Structure 1
Amino acid sequence: MTLKVIGSGFGRTGTLSLKAALEILGFAPCYHMKEVIKRPSHIKLWQQIAHNQPVPWNDIFTNFQAVVDFPASIFYQELLEAYQTAKVIHTVRDPERWYDSTAETIYRAAESFSPWMAKMLPPLGNFIDMQERIIWQRLFNGRFSDRPYAIQQFNAHTEAVKQNVPPEKLLIFQVKEGWEPLCKFLGVPVPDLPFPHVNDRENMLRDFKRLRQTFSLLPLAIAALGFFLLWQRSKLSRSVRKLGQNKPTSVVISNDSEKSQARHANILSD
Structure 2
Amino acid sequence: MLRIIGVGLGRTGTMTLKKALCRLGFGPCYHFTEVFAHPRHLHDWAAGANGVPEAWRGPLTGYVSTTDWPGVTFWREMVEAYPDAKVILTSRDAAAWYESVTSTVFAAMSGRFPEAAERFRSFETAEQLAQFGRLGVIGRCFDGRIDDRDHVIACYERHNQAVRETVAPERLLDFQVSQGWEPLCAFLGVEVPEDPFPHSNDQKSFRATVLTNPND
TM-score by length of 2: 0.89
Aligned residue in 2 for 1:61: 60
**Secondary structure, aligned partner of 2:190:** coil
- 2:48 & 2:185 partners in 1: Cα distance? 33
Is the helix fraction higher in 1 or 2?
Answer: 1
Which of the pair has more CA radius of gyration?
A: 1
**Secondary structure, aligned partner of 1:90:** strand
Question: For the Cα contact (< 8 Å) 1:10–1:91, is it kept in 2?
Answer: yes
Give the structure, 1 or 2, with the largest relative contact order (CA under 8 Å, sep 6 or more): 2
Aligned residue in 1 for 2:49: 50
* Amino acid of the structure 1 residue aligned with 2:14: T
Question: For the Cα contact (< 8 Å) 2:5–2:85, is it kept in 1?
Answer: yes
User: In the superposition, relative to structure 1, how do residues 62 and 210 fare at CA in structure 2: closer, same or farther (>3 Å)?
Assistant: closer
Shift of 1:75: 1.5
Structure-to-structure mapping, 1:93-104, within 5 angstroms: 93-104=92-103
* Amino acid of the structure 2 residue aligned with 1:18: L
Structure-to-structure mapping, 1:65-104, within 5 angstroms: 65-104=64-103
Question: For the Cα contact (< 8 Å) 1:30–1:68, is it kept in 2?
Answer: yes
- 2:161 & 2:182 partners in 1: Cα distance? 24
Structure-to-structure mapping, 1:199-210, within 5 angstroms: 199-205=201-207
Q: Give CA deviations for 1:90-141 in whole Å, capped at 9, x if unaligned.
A: 0000100100110011111130426xx74x6551121011111111122112
User: In the superposition, relative to structure 1, how do residues 159 and 209 fare at CA in structure 2: closer, same or farther (>3 Å)?
Assistant: closer
**Secondary structure, aligned partner of 1:89:** strand
- 1:29 & 1:201 partners in 2: Cα distance? 24
Question: For the Cα contact (< 8 Å) 1:45–1:55, is it kept in 2?
Answer: no
- 1:207 & 1:198 partners in 2: Cα distance? 9
Shift of 1:204: 2.5
Question: For the Cα contact (< 8 Å) 1:31–1:66, is it kept in 2?
Answer: yes
Q: Which stretch of the first structure deviates more once superposed, 67-76 or 171-180?
A: 67-76
- 2:211 & 2:83 partners in 1: Cα distance? 42
Q: What is the identity percentage for the equivalent residue pairs of Structure 1 and Structure 2?
A: 41
Q: Which stretch of the first structure deviates more once superposed, 161-170 or 199-208?
A: 199-208
Unaligned runs of 5+ in 1: 212-270
**Secondary structure, aligned partner of 2:125:** helix
Runs of 4+ displaced beyond 6 Å: 206-211
Aligned residue in 2 for 1:105: 104
- 1:93 & 1:162 partners in 2: Cα distance? 15
- 1:94 & 1:158 partners in 2: Cα distance? 12
* Aligned residue pair count: 208
* Amino acid of the structure 2 residue aligned with 1:132: R
Shift of 1:209: 9.0
TM-score by length of 1: 0.72
Question: For the Cα contact (< 8 Å) 1:17–1:196, is it kept in 2?
Answer: yes
- 1:35 & 1:209 partners in 2: Cα distance? 12
